[in-house]
Amino acid sequence: MSFDEFVHEHQQALVRYATLLCGGQGDAEDLVQEVLIRVFPRWETLEGNRHAYVRRAVTNEFLSWRRRWSTRNIRFTAEVPEVGVEVGWDEPDQRLARELRKLPRQQRAAVVLRYYEDLTDTEIASVLGCREGTVRAHVSRGLAALRSVLGSSERVWRGHE
């Protein structure tokens, strides 16, 4: 598959995934664009599952990019209305998305990889570069934090409660 074909087929899914990580579509688009720019020069040398490779690159870039981003961008103190992200969620899920953005980066990535990307502990550990036990801890803590805010009676993640 050529790079152009890959981008055409997978870019929207990568941006949706990155939106869940970043909390905003604009940041997600920037993050995915940065990753695609970095991957392009070595595209022909990549072997195996290229989508998994790029998804891992997006995750890694998010985990390091957020640290770099906070030191190079100015944040306004006034409340700016948030633009809705088109991921097909209804209002209760918008609340979930807001609370998801409050989780620490590693927990957020683990929860999103588990319940949005539907990856196993082994696959998540590979993406995050950690042990499976650490993945389980991140997911457990992330879900506990979400439940403490959203309540145990509300659906914490569509289709998984």
Q: Which of 27, 46, 73 represents a domain boundary (last residue)?
A: 73
Same-domain check for residues 11 and 37: yes
Q: What is the CATH number of the domain that holds 110?
A: 1.10.10.10
Q: Is residue 37 part of a domain?
A: yes
Asked, for residue 78, whether it belongs to a domain, the answer is no
- What pLDDT, in 10s, does the model give residues 127-157? 888 999 999 999 999 999 888 887 764 455 5
Q: Give the residue, 123 or 67, on which the prediction is more confident.
A: 123
Is the residue at 51 inside a domain? yes
Q: What is the pLDDT of residues 77-112, one digit of tens each?
A: 444 344 444 444 445 567 777 888 888 888 999 999
Reported as a single tens digit per residue, the pLDDT across 32-55 is 999 999 999 999 998 888 998 999
Into how many domains does the chain fold? 2
- CATH classification of the domain holding 64: 1.10.1740
Distances (CA, A) of 47 to 1, 51, 87, 114, 150: 11, 11, 30, 24, 42
Q: Roughly what angle, to the nearest 10 degrees, separates helices 105-115 and 121-128?
A: 140
Q: For residue 5, give both structure tokens.
A: 């074909």
Cβ neighbours for 84, distance < 8 A, ≥ 6 positions apart: 94
The model carries a pTM of 0.67
Residue whose C-alpha is closest to residue 129's, from 68, 67, 66, 61: 61
Task: Give, for 80, the enclosing helix (H) or strand (E).
Answer: none
83 domain-assigned:
no
Residue 48 falls inside a structural domain: yes
80 located within any domain: no
| Residue range of the domain that includes 109 | 91-153
- pLDDT given for residue 116 in this prediction: 85
Same domain, 14 and 63: yes
Pairwise CA distance, residues 139 & 122, whole Å: 13
Evaluate whether residue 132 is within a structural domain: yes
